[in-house]
Amino acid sequence: MNRRPRRNRKSAVIRSMVEETNLSVKDLIFPLFLIEGSNQKVEVSSMPGIYRYSLDLMLKEIESCIRLGIKAFDIFPAYPESKKDKFATESYNPETFYLKAIQKIKSTFPDICVMTDVAMDPYSSDGHDGLVEDGEILNDETLEILGKMAMAQAQAGADIIGPSDMMDGRVGFIRNILDQNNYKEVSIMSYTAKYASAFYNPFRDALDSAPKAGDKKTYQMDPANLQEALLEADLDEKEGADFLMVKPAMSYLDVIRTLKENTYLPIAAYNVSGEYSMIKAAQQKGWLDGEKVMAESLLSMKRAGANIILTYFAKEFALLQQKQ
């Protein structure tokens, strides 16, 4: 045999020299959950090892992550029902704890990247990403609310705005508002191909943001569709997105690859809560080696074409890298 591929696998040094895909802590964004109050650290029951933090403890958590090399964070707020209403007005209240926290995080750690999420569901009494009227999710009326939300987050110091609502035209609407108000440097990471997935439930537990009625299938994408993701990507790119995201990640590696091959924009993959919780549950049962499966699953997203991965494993992966 003239060709023996195993010769390039015979030692760790040679394997590392021919390694095609490299995953680094710098590729990761760590989602964090924020709650009001002080000295609060509450574990999300369906996400072992993931907590909801009050600002004082979140600052300490961010500091510990920075020491591990994590420099990007996506901050999600969990609001009590008493602060939610039909129009998500708390989302752009300048005195709300979430916007105050973004300001504090950026002033304390000016060199990190803070990403924020734009959608109505954490603030909506209906639990939907858009405005609900007679059971219908209104698209254009929702854009006005999202624009106010995005502006408030930019003013608070967000580096990247993440529209996760899947309303038509929202990227262009938000880009125009940011530009008109001299926030041209604020980036948009669009949730371009956000599927109506069954993998989101632990996240909804973390934010208490499940829909009060109906589902999200009229605005989130059908898991059966791939070509539709190209349409969404084309629209988002033309409307001014700086990054395109696929959510979830593990069951949508083909979508990540397809977008990667059809755009010059960076591709982000959201390794969502259900994907995290499955691995953690199997690890607790002793059915899988959690560390190895975590690393392999993250590597698969990078190999598929993701430049950036939002993952609840970010800190755990960084700790693993330090050991090696």
The rounded distance, in Å, linking the Cα atoms of 264 and 242 is 10
Provide CB contacts within 8 A for 180, sequence distance 6+: none
Asked if 247 is an active-site residue, the reply is yes
Amino acid in position 185: E
User: Which of 84, 148, 216, 247 is flagged as catalytic?
Assistant: 247
How distant, in Å, are the alpha carbons of 73, 202, 214, 268, 288 from that of 311?
10, 13, 28, 11, 19
Tally of residues, the chain = 324
The rounded distance, in Å, linking the Cα atoms of 211 and 87 is 14
DSSP per position, 236-275: HHHHT-SEEEEES-GGGHHHHHHHHTT-SS-EEEEE-HHH
The rounded distance, in Å, linking the Cα atoms of 178 and 156 is 13
Asked if 60 is an active-site residue, the reply is no
DSSP per position, 272-294: -HHHHHHHHHHHHHTSS-HHHHH
Determine the 3-state secondary structure of 161 from DSSP. Answer: strand
Q: Residue 227 corresponds to which tokens in the numbers above?
A: 């070509």
How distant, in Å, are the alpha carbons of 128, 224, 292, 313 from that of 214?
9, 20, 38, 31
The rounded distance, in Å, linking the Cα atoms of 37 and 101 is 11
How distant, in Å, are the alpha carbons of 34, 178, 280 from that of 47?
15, 35, 8
Preceding amide of 248 cis, omega within 30: yes
Give the active site residues.
194, 247
